[in-house]
């Protein structure tokens, strides 16, 4: 089988909920890294592109009706280039990268664009249709995150705990103390800030122009979510599931906006061979549980050395592609060979991908 190579990887900065990128539609946001790939690689025959595959977890608003195809058109790719949107919730962006790699290895395509997008700030409210004529009842659901239009059979058989509730369950089941979660959160923030100051993250970011009422567009070029904090400040936060809970806004990932695009086995490798590990920090409780199940120390130096989702944010459909992008840049920066990207996924799933620097 032919090999699949990542030739280039670029992303937008990740914006806070209601922040600098909240005025940018999801399809416009997704088009920015696609257009950047075209500009960064002018020698590519873009008409030969086999497909554009983007992950997106919501698809209830401006990201509806196949946002990958819309973004490809908005980016200026040839009309003949198709697009497909995949939804594996939090793992959507990483799944898009894996899907593109499999198509190349199977010989179905020679060149692919893969990535992900999510605008959680612009996620709409949705209303179901009436179930009977002249119905006087109605419901409105916020699509930003979590369950909506719940199937009663699903709730009865499996439950429909929210992600913070699930994180509390994980903390209880695996004995993840609040202090350990806060320490992971603090490390994520400190590492992200250090990576920003060292210029590591700037290399993987393309600025997003945000139109202003007057004057030139504002160029958003830095991740908005990292913040200054301390163990003392984190310890003062109340639980988000219950006041005495361990999962807080400080040791959980953010609700964010962002997009990413990468130009593009059963490996038989072991964890000991991994030089870089990018683990999605949806919640510190989940991250620590995974590390301990794998037999890795809480502070393994290979894990999220440039900060994780607690600091940088978690725009659902884009996060997996961001993990792969950061892993690639860390491999080049450190001279390492193998990187592992791994994520938990809503409704009891997970996903992982191994990258090799050649």
CA dist list (Å): 289 to 144, 215, 245, 258, 281: 26, 49, 17, 27, 11
Nearest CA among 125, 165, 167 for reference residue 148: 125
Distance of alpha carbon 333 from alpha carbon 323, whole angstroms: 15
Beta-bridge partner residues of 344: 350
SS3 345: strand
Distance of alpha carbon 103 from alpha carbon 192, whole angstroms: 34
- In sequence order, the 6+-apart residues with CB closer than 8 A to the CB of 254 are 14, 16, 17, 225, 309, 310, 312, 313, 314
End-to-end CA distance of the chain: give it in Å, rounded. 17
347 torsion bin: left (phi>0), alpha (psi -120 to 50), beta (else)? left
Active site residues: 90, 314, 344
Chain CA centroid to CA 231, Å? 26
Distance of alpha carbon 149 from alpha carbon 156, whole angstroms: 14
CA dist list (Å): 52 to 117, 154, 317: 12, 33, 15
- In sequence order, the 6+-apart residues with CB closer than 8 A to the CB of 300 are 277, 291
């Amino acid at each position: 089988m032919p090999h699949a190579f990542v030739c280039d990887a670029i992303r937008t900065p990740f914006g806070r909920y209601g922040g600098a990128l909240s005025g940018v539609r999801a399809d416009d946001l997704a088009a920015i890294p696609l257009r950047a790939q075209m500009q960064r690689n002018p020698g590519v025959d873009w008409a030969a592109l086999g497909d554009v595959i983007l992950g997106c977890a919501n698809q209830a608003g401006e990201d509806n009706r196949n946002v990958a195809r819309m973004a490809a058109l908005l980016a200026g790719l040839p009309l003949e280039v198709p697009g497909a949107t995949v939804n594996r919730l939090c793992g959507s962006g990483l799944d898009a990268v894996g899907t593109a790699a499999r198509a190349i290895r199977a010989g179905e395509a020679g060149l692919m664009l893969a990535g992900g997008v999510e605008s959680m700030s612009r996620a709409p409210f949705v209303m179901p249709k009436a179930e009977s004529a002249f119905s006087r009842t109605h419901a409105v659901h916020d699509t930003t995150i979590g369950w909506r239009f719940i199937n009663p059979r699903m709730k009865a058989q499996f439950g429909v705990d929210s992600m913070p509730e699930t994180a509390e369950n994980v903390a209880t089941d695996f004995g993840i103390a609040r202090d350990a979660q806060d320490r992971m959160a603090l490390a994520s923030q400190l590492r992200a800030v250090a990576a920003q100051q060292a210029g590591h993250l700037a290399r993987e970011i393309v600025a997003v122009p945000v139109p202003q009422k007057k004057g030139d567009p504002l160029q958003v070029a830095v991740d908005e979510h990292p913040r200054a904090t301390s163990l003392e400040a984190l310890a003062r936060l109340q639980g988000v599931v219950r006041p005495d809970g361990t999962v807080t806004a400080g040791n959980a990932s953010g609700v964010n906006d962002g997009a990413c695009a990468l130009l593009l086995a059963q490996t038989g490798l072991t964890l000991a061979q991994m030089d870089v590990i990018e683990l999605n920090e949806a919640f510190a409780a989940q991250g620590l549980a995974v590390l301990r199940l794998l037999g890795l120390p809480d502070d393994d130096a290979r894990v999220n050395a440039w900060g994780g989702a607690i600091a940088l944010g978690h725009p659902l459909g884009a996060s997996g592609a961001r993990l792969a992008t950061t892993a690639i840049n860390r491999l080049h920066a450190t001279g390492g060979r193998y990187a592992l990207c791994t994520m938990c996924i809503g409704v009891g799933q997970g996903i992982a991908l191994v990258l090799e620097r050649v």
